[in-house]
Chain A
C-alpha cells in the first residue's frame, strides 16, 4: 500500500474516533476538536472575520508552515473530506477513457472557482459576515458524520444488540445486555446529507472534484504551496507513457509529464506508484521546472468575486431576521431561539461559529440543535437549545469545551451554572394545574434550581406553579417534562439571557441579583405569595406559621 494511504486511512479513523469521543464525559487527555482547528479556513478565516486572535485555533499556522515545506499534504493526508472523497471515488470509479484530458492544462476548467470562492468569503468577511461554515471541508465533514452517520450508526448498533440480547448472559457478557444507545435526533440532517452527497457525486465529472475546484481551504493551502521544498521530480528515465497524468487525482501534472503544478499536488504519491520506469520521486528539490501560471486569475475576476461576497453579506444583513445586535431598527428575534450557555453576544457568536456541529453532537441531552433560518440567513446551522426535546444539564459544560473557535466560551462548571440562557414562562391557559385544577407540578418537581414554586392562589383549589425569574437559569427541564401534549405549557424564552464576551458570569449574575444555587438552605420551596416571601430569609415559610395551609401533598386529617 502507498505510504499516503498508510497515513490517510488511520488519520481518517482518528478523526472519527475523536468525533466519537466528543461526548459526555469529555476525555481529559485529548482535545477532541483538534481536526477542526487544523483547517486553515476555519482557524484563520474565523480569526479574520471575527477580528480576533483565537489562541486555541493557532494550530492552523503550523499547517500553513508545513505547506511551505511539504505542499498540500493537509489535503492528501489529514483532511477527512479528502479521505471520504477518495473512498467514494474508489467505490465508484469514473468510467470511460481519459485521453490525456487529465493534464493540468486541459482539466482546468473549474479550477479557479476555489480561489474565487475564497475571495468571495473574504469579501463577506470584510462586512463581518462569515460564510466559512458553508464551504469549510472540516465543517462539512464534522456536520455530516455527526448529524447523518452517527445516529444511523447507533441505530444499527441497537438493532444488532437487540438481536444478540438473549445470548449475552450465556456467554458471560451480562453487562452488554443492558446496553442500548439513545439515538440522537438532528434538525436539518436531510439537507446536510444532500449537500455532502452532491459533493461526492461531482466525482462523476472529475475525481476529487471538490478538492480540485471548490474547496476554499485548499485554495488557501495552494497559495502556500507554490514552491514547496519537498516536491515531485521526474528523472530522464521518463518515457512519456502518460500513466502519471491519467492517475493523478488532482490533475496536477502537465501534459509534458514532467512539470508539476505544486499548488495542486497533494503528495498522494500515486504518480510515483504507477510509473513503470521509477522515474518519479518526491524529494527536496531546489530547481525543478514549474508550471505557470498555476493560479490563473485576473484582476477583473478577483474583484468581481470579492464584490459578490460583499454583496451577499449585505443581502444577509438587510434580511429582516438578521440579528445585527444593538442597531435600529431592532431585529426580529424568535422567542424560541435559546443559545447554548456561554455563547458570545450574537454578532460575535455568528462571526465565530463555524457550524461544525461538534457541540450539537456532543450535547449530553441532545437539546442542542442546528437551526435553519431562525437566526437570519447567516445563522444557518447555528446551535440552539431545544428545550421541548431535552433540558440543558447543569452538570455538563461540554459545548463550550469542544467549540474550536470559542464561539461558545469554554466555561468551568461553576461559571456555566451562572450563564443564564433564558427564562421560563408559564402559559396559564395551557397549564393543567392552572386551567384544569390537576395536581401536576411536574415542572416544580423537575426544576433543578428551585425556580418553580407551588403556590396557593385564590380561586384555585390546588397549588399552582409560579416561576421565580431570578432563580430561573433557563435550562428548560420544565419545558421538556411538561406533560401537556404538543407545545409545552411552560416555555423558555430568551429574555434575561446573559451573553458575555468577557468577564465572569458569576460576577454578572451577582450584580443582577440572580440566585442559581439554592444548595443548603432553602427558603421558599412552597410559598403563599410573593409579598410574604420578600424580606424573609429564614428557613420557615408562611404556610407553617399560619397553620392553615399544608405543604403540597399532605392532607388535614
Chain B
C-alpha cells in the first residue's frame, strides 16, 4: 500500500465511520457505546432470534462485504425432520442466507457433506426448501471427490493434510451454523466438530487419529468468521444421529469465536441429564489450550437479547 492508497482508504473508512455515527438508531447501542460482547445469546423463535443475535454484533454487514462469496456450514447430515434436533433448524439457515444476501454477498452456498444420502438429507432436514427463494443462494450436499481439494494443515498435531471443499477454500466468509447436539464419540457436536462436514474423508478421524486432536487440527485451517449455534432445541442424548431426547431451549448463540460459542452451548445445555463444564469436552479444551479461542466464559462479555 502506498501513501496515496493509504490516504484514500483512510478517507473512505472515516466517511463510513461518520455515516455510522450519524445514524445511531440503526446500530446497536453496545456497538458504539459499550464494549462489544464476546458472545450473544438471543431468545425467541429460531429465525428472528438468529437475526437478533447477529444484529447485536452490528449486523451481517460487519462480516459480509458486498460481492463476497459466503459459505454457510449448517448440520444437514441426517435425513431427519427438524424436531429430532439432529440438523440445524431450517429457519436459522434461511435467516442467515437472507442476511448475507441483504449484505450484498455475490453468492451464498449452504454446504455439507452428509453422512447419509445427500438428496434425502437436504429434503428431510427442510433446509433446501427454506432457502429456495433466497437470491444468490444454493443448498448443496457435496459428496463427490471432484468437489474437494487436498490442503496442508501446518499447525496439525495429528492431522497434517485433508481434502476440503473447493468452494470453502474459494470463499471470502465462512459461517458455522451447527445445531447443538450430543455426540457419542466427542461428547457434543457443535461448531468445532461441525467443520468435519466440510472435508471429504473422515474415516481416519475415527480409525487412526485421536478424534479430539484431529478436530482441533482441522479448525486451525477452517476458521469461521462467525459462529451461529442453533440451540432452539438441543439433542441432549442420542446424538449425533438421534433419535434421542430433545430439550427445547429457544436460544441462538452467536460469537466471532467458535470456541467461546461452543463453550456457551455446552454450559447452557443439559447433556445426558446433567450439567457439564466446557473443559469436560476434550476437543473444546484442546482448542482453548492451542489458542483457537477462549472457552472461559467468566472472562467474557455475554449479552442476552430478545427477538
The interface of chain A, by Cβ under 8 A from chain B, is 24, 162, 174-175, 178, 180, 182, 364-365, 393, 395-396, 432, 438-442, 444-448, 450, 454, 477, 481, 483-484, 517-522, 525-526, 539-541, 543-544, 550-557
A553 to B237, CA, bound (A): 12
Q: With a CB–CB cut-off of 8 A, which chain A residues contact B279?
A: 557
Q: State whether the Cβ of B65 lies closer than 8 Å to any Cβ in chain A.
A: no
14 further A-B pairs in the complex, CB-CB below 8 A; given A439-B206, A441-B185, A554-B281:
A24-B119, A180-B144, A446-B115, A446-B241, A521-B245, A522-B243, A526-B237, A540-B273, A541-B273, A543-B272, A544-B274, A553-B182, A554-B280, A555-B280
Q: With a CB–CB cut-off of 8 A, which chain A residues contact B138?
A: 174-175, 178
**Contacts A522-B238, A554-B276 hold; do A162 and B184 have CB atoms under 8 A apart?**
no
Q: With a CB–CB cut-off of 8 A, which chain A residues contact B211?
A: 439
Report, nearest first, the 6 A-B pairs whose CB atoms are least far apart: A553-B187, A551-B272, A483-B207, A180-B144, A483-B203, A178-B140
B272 and A541 form a contact (CB under 8 A): yes
Please give me the residue from chain B that is nearest to A177 by CB atom: B138
Please give me the residue from chain A that is nearest to B145 by CB atom: A180
Nearest chain A CB to B152 CB, angstrom units:
23
The listed residue (A182, A439, A551, A556) touching B237 by CB distance below 8 A is A551
Q: With a CB–CB cut-off of 8 A, which chain A residues contact B107?
A: 174
Please give me the residue from chain A that is nearest to B245 by CB atom: A522
Q: State whether the Cβ of B31 lies closer than 8 Å to any Cβ in chain A.
A: no
A24 and B245 form a contact (CB under 8 A): no
A557 and B207 form a contact (CB under 8 A): no
A522 to B210, CA, bound (A): 28
Q: With a CB–CB cut-off of 8 A, which chain B residues contact A442?
A: 185, 206
B280 and A557 form a contact (CB under 8 A): yes
Q: With a CB–CB cut-off of 8 A, which chain A residues contact B281?
A: 553-555
Q: With a CB–CB cut-off of 8 A, which chain A residues contact B120?
A: 24, 364, 393, 395-396
> Chain B 246-278 against A: per-residue CB contact (8 Å), 1 yes, 0 no?
000000000000000000000000011110100
A432 to B207, CA, bound (A): 8
Q: With a CB–CB cut-off of 8 A, which chain B residues contact A438?
A: 206-207
Please give me the residue from chain A that is nearest to B204 by CB atom: A483
A448 to B78, CA, bound (A): 9
Nearest chain B CB to A446 CB, angstrom units:
6
Please give me the residue from chain B that is nearest to A484 by CB atom: B207
The listed residue (B143, B188, B280) touching A182 by CB distance below 8 A is B143
A556 to B279, CA, bound (A): 9
Q: State whether the Cβ of B224 lies closer than 8 Å to any Cβ in chain A.
A: no
B143 and A178 form a contact (CB under 8 A): no
Q: With a CB–CB cut-off of 8 A, which chain B residues contact A174?
A: 107, 138
Q: With a CB–CB cut-off of 8 A, which chain A residues contact B244?
A: 450, 518, 522, 525
A180 to B274, CA, bound (A): 44
Please give me the residue from chain B that is nearest to A462 by CB atom: B185
Nearest chain B CB to A539 CB, angstrom units:
6
Q: With a CB–CB cut-off of 8 A, which chain A residues contact B115?
A: 446, 481
Prevailing SS type, chain A contact patch: loop
The interface of chain B, by Cβ under 8 A from chain A, is 79, 84, 107, 115-117, 119-120, 124, 138, 140, 142-144, 146-147, 182-188, 203, 206-207, 210-211, 237-238, 240-241, 243-245, 271-274, 276, 279-282, 285
Please give me the residue from chain A that is nearest to B237 by CB atom: A525
A526 to B79, CA, bound (A): 23
A522 to B241, CA, bound (A): 13
A526 to B271, CA, bound (A): 12
A512 to B207, CA, bound (A): 36
Nearest chain A CB to B107 CB, angstrom units:
7
A551 to B274, CA, bound (A): 10
A445 and B183 form a contact (CB under 8 A): yes
B272 and A544 form a contact (CB under 8 A): yes
Q: List 19 A-B contacts (CB under 8 A).
A: A175-B138, A178-B140, A178-B142, A180-B144, A440-B185, A441-B206, A447-B241, A448-B241, A450-B238, A518-B244, A522-B245, A526-B184, A552-B185, A553-B281, A554-B281, A555-B280, A555-B281, A555-B282, A556-B280
Nearest chain B CB to A132 CB, angstrom units:
33
B272 and A365 form a contact (CB under 8 A): no
Please give me the residue from chain B that is nearest to A463 by CB atom: B184
Quick one: which of A439, A541, A554 has the most chain B CB within 10 A?
A554
Q: With a CB–CB cut-off of 8 A, which chain B residues contact A555?
A: 280-282, 285
Nearest chain A CB to B124 CB, angstrom units:
7
The listed residue (B79, B183, B243) touching A450 by CB distance below 8 A is B243
Nearest chain A CB to B274 CB, angstrom units:
6
Nearest chain B CB to A168 CB, angstrom units:
12
Please give me the residue from chain B that is nearest to A517 by CB atom: B243
A553 to B183, CA, bound (A): 7
Q: With a CB–CB cut-off of 8 A, which chain B residues contact A395?
A: 79, 120, 124
A175 to B207, CA, bound (A): 35
A557 to B280, CA, bound (A): 6
A444 and B144 form a contact (CB under 8 A): no
Q: With a CB–CB cut-off of 8 A, which chain A residues contact B207?
A: 432, 438, 440, 483-484
Q: With a CB–CB cut-off of 8 A, which chain B residues contact A364?
A: 117, 120
Q: With a CB–CB cut-off of 8 A, which chain A residues contact B276?
A: 554
Q: With a CB–CB cut-off of 8 A, which chain B residues contact A540?
A: 273
A182 and B144 form a contact (CB under 8 A): yes
Nearest chain A CB to B212 CB, angstrom units:
8
Nearest chain A CB to B299 CB, angstrom units:
19
The listed residue (B187, B243, B285) touching A519 by CB distance below 8 A is B243
Nearest chain B CB to A532 CB, angstrom units:
15
B245 and A553 form a contact (CB under 8 A): no
